[in-house]
Amino acid sequence: GDSVTQMEGPVTLSEEAFLTINCTYTATGYPSLFWYVQYPGEGLQLLLKATKADDKGSNKGFEATYRKETTSFHLEKGSVQVSDSAVYFCALSDQDGGFKTIFGAGTRLFVKA
């Protein structure tokens, strides 16, 4: 079945450092890919998405490119801030899977001032 694998955390960075959180997926069809963010005490929020190969999703300085050849959707940000501290979830939704959304385990990010 469909699955999402993302790098284990926690990831600890200093402010203004470069961020990469790796995400790879397996799917039978051509899924849409998502990054969700969960701030402490809050629900998940959609951060960005990409619906087809080579699409780049971007929001709030974060970006991720849908790489079909490597089945990856890595999250990047050039300069992180303390306010970016949160848990980040990679996810996919596949028409072949009835549009069921499959989430990765999440990666916790700590950004130090």
**Token output for 6:** 């993302």
Shorter beta-carbon distance to other proteins: residue 10 or 78? 10
Residues 40-99 binding other proteins (CB under 8 A) are 41-46, 49, 51, 89, 91, 93, 98-99
- Work out how close the CB of 4 gets to other proteins at its nearest, in angstroms, rounded to a whole number: 8
Number of residues that bind other proteins (CB under 8 A): 22
* Phi, psi angles (nearest 5°) of residue 10: -80, 155
Shorter beta-carbon distance to other proteins: residue 49 or 74? 49
Dihedral-angle region of residue 65 (phi above 0 means left; psi in -120 to 50 means alpha; beta otherwise): beta
List, in order, residues 6 or more apart from 69 with CB less than 8 Å away.
Answer: none
105 is a contact residue toward other proteins (CB under 8 A): yes
- Work out how close the CB of 103 gets to other proteins at its nearest, in angstroms, rounded to a whole number: 3
C-alpha span between 35 and 49 (Å, rounded): 6
Q: Other C-beta atoms within 10 Å of 39: how many?
A: 13
List contacts with other proteins (CB under 8 A): 4, 32, 36, 41-46, 49, 51, 89, 91, 93, 98-101, 103-106
